[in-house]
Chains A and B, each alone.
Chain A
Amino acid sequence: AQSVTQPDIHITVSEGASLELRCNYSYGATPYLFWYVQSPGQGLQLLLKYFSGDTLVQGIKGFEAEFKRSQSSFNLRKPSVHWSDAAEYFCAVVPPTGAGSYQLTFGKGTKLSVIP
């Protein structure tokens, strides 16, 4: 069965510092990959997604992620964190089945705190 691992439960960074959130997946083929962000009391918002092609993906709010097939990783990065980035971040995968049901498998999330 596919699985997603986010090794860091909680990360604290200073405002203006760079950020990298880790995500590793376990699946036979390369799945579709996603990062979502959830602010307190809110639903999930898509930051970026990878289906195929260029392995460096740009998203909203200045985030980017790099797919590394050899490491089964899809790490999220931001060069300079803003206080408003404090939230919980979820990595998710979907098997590349094309048509058919679309079942996201989520990691357990990484909570990001930002120090002013």
Chain B
Amino acid sequence: DAGITQSPRHKVTETGTPVTLRCHQTENHRYMYWYRQDPGHGLRLIHYSYGVKDTDKGEVSDGYSVSRSKTEDFLLTLESATSSQTSVYFCAISEIVGTFNTEAFFGQGTRLTVV
């Protein structure tokens, strides 16, 4: 299994509070991603990173920010959590080998509940 650790695995927080989720990898992969999974929507990309301090928005980035100060860590921050951000969050990593993108490897997920 790819070395991806998400923390925390479960969190309950109150509306309006800031929340930070952490993704840590030991594979030295260049690309890291945050997805959210909601019933009936599959997985949707929030933000991704293509290198240290290089990040970009995905499909559902409103209300989220990210940071990547080291290759191995990718942080997702909800500045002011809302109930609509209750979801399961997955981190993923991938790498370019030659001219091919390899498959993405996923973490175990973080279940976030905003009350």
Residues of A whose CB lies within 8 Å of any CB of B are 9, 32, 34, 36, 42-46, 49, 51, 90, 94, 97-109
The residues of B that contact A43 with a CB separation of less than 8 Å are 90, 106-109
Of chain B, the residue at the smallest CB distance from A104 is B104
Q: Are A44 and B106 in touch, CB under 8 angstroms?
A: yes
Please, how many angstroms separate the alpha-carbon atoms of A106 and B42 in the complex? 6
Given contacts A34-B103, A49-B103, A98-B100, could you give 12 more A-B pairs where the C-beta distance is less than 8 Å?
A32-B101, A42-B108, A46-B105, A51-B100, A94-B101, A97-B101, A101-B56, A102-B96, A104-B92, A106-B43, A108-B42, A109-B42
Interface size on B, residues (CB 8 A): 26
Per a CB cutoff under 8 Å, which of B31, B44, B106 touches A102? Answer: B31
Helix, strand, loop or mixed for chain B's interface? strand
Q: Are B45 and A101 in touch, CB under 8 angstroms?
A: no
Helix, strand, loop or mixed for chain A's interface? loop
Q: Shortest CB–CB separation between residue B39 and chain A, in angstroms?
A: 9
Per a CB cutoff under 8 Å, which of B42, B45, B58, B108 touches A90? Answer: B42
Please, how many angstroms separate the alpha-carbon atoms of A108 and B38 in the complex? 9
Per a CB cutoff under 8 Å, which of A45, A100, A103 touches B58? Answer: A103
User: Across chains A and B, which 5 residue pairs bring their CB atoms closest together, nearest first?
Assistant: A106-B42, A98-B99, A102-B101, A43-B106, A108-B42
